[in-house]
Amino acid sequence: MFLASKLFWLLAQPLSLIFVLLVLSFLFAAAGLKSLNRFLSGLAVILLFLTLFTSTGTVALQALENRIPRPASLPSDLSCIIILGGAFENEVIARRGGIELNQAGDRFVEGLRLAQAHPSARILVSGGDGSFSGQYDGDAKTSEIFFSTFGIAPERLIREATSRTTFENAANTKQLLEENGLSNCALITSAFHMPRSVGLFRKLGIDVTPWPVDYRTSGDAALGPDFSQPSLNAQLTTTAMREWTGLLAYFISGRTHVLFPQ
């Protein structure tokens, strides 16, 4: 399932899909099927324009980020802080050392802040190696170095180091929470990733307080043309499409109760 989802997304993300459409249009043109050639090439141009030169991706991602707002505060008796992985550049770390955070690094920065504000809470980091090769440390393992650097005692950490998907994050976390007798937990992940994560945790009967971070939109963007940042528009569109696809797939497969959890 993991490899199938990876391979599917290689082809389904916007720029890859546009490339596939263009290749097919050239093949149809070579075969003399001009109507299909024109249709596919026209569709590719439209998708490329929407991806690069409009705020479509921003608005689609914004809808995800706005779905589950961060509460005003966390319970004073918080027993654990769950952090979903995906924030460390583990391939880079393996070759260069140190601690390298990617765009989702807010997950661990905020996790550190909450760990300092709630010194009695355990910290459960869920994240294995999600690469094709499987030869790098996952976020759960790297997080031990990160937290110890800032004075967080190793015994506070619970590492779930085998998950490669969000579903595995939730399922493996459930087992560790039960083994350690923990409840009343905060869940930290990127805001756009929170609806899918909350949906999975609720389906498995895990009650968490969502604590979204890593916002990538202003929250009030409007749909329209945007010629100022085509590369960023492509990135936001790709992220949004991946997350909406994940929501649909998990709902269809019965892993969440509703398509768009709130």
Phi, psi of 196 (to 5 degrees): -65, -40
The band of 262, judged by pLDDT with boundaries at 50, 70 and 90, is confident
Of the candidates 196, 243, 197, 232, the one whose C-alpha atom is nearest the C-alpha of residue 58 is: 232
- C-beta of residue 160 within 8 angstroms of C-beta of residue 124: yes
Q: Which pLDDT value is given to residue 10? A: 79
Tens-digit pLDDT profile for residues 95-136: 999 999 999 999 999 999 999 999 999 999 999 876 666 677
Q: For the chain, count helices (H), then strands (E).
A: 10, 5
Domains detected in the chain: 2-65+229-252 (no CATH), 71-213 (3.40.50.620)
- DSSP symbol at 68: S
pLDDT in tens, 191-243: 999 999 999 999 999 999 999 999 999 999 999 999 999 999 999 999 999 99
Residue tagged 């329209």 (tokens):
224
The answer to whether 196 touches 165, Cβ cutoff 8 Å, is no
Amino acid code (one letter) for 91: E
- 187, containing H or E segment: strand 185-190
- pLDDT value at residue 133: 63
Please give the average per-residue pLDDT across 7-13, as a whole number. Answer: 80
Residue pLDDT, tens place only, 146-173 = 999 999 999 999 999 999 999 999 999 9
164: which 2 tokens? Answer: 């490669």
pLDDT at 137 over 80: yes
Cα(105)–Cα(89) distance, integer angstroms: 10
Quote the percentage of the chain above a pLDDT of 70.
Answer: 97
Predicted TM-score (pTM) of this structure: 0.92
- CA dihedral over 259, 106, 228, 44, signed as positive or negative: negative
Q: Which residues contact 154 (CB under 8 A, 6 or more apart)?
A: 144, 147, 148
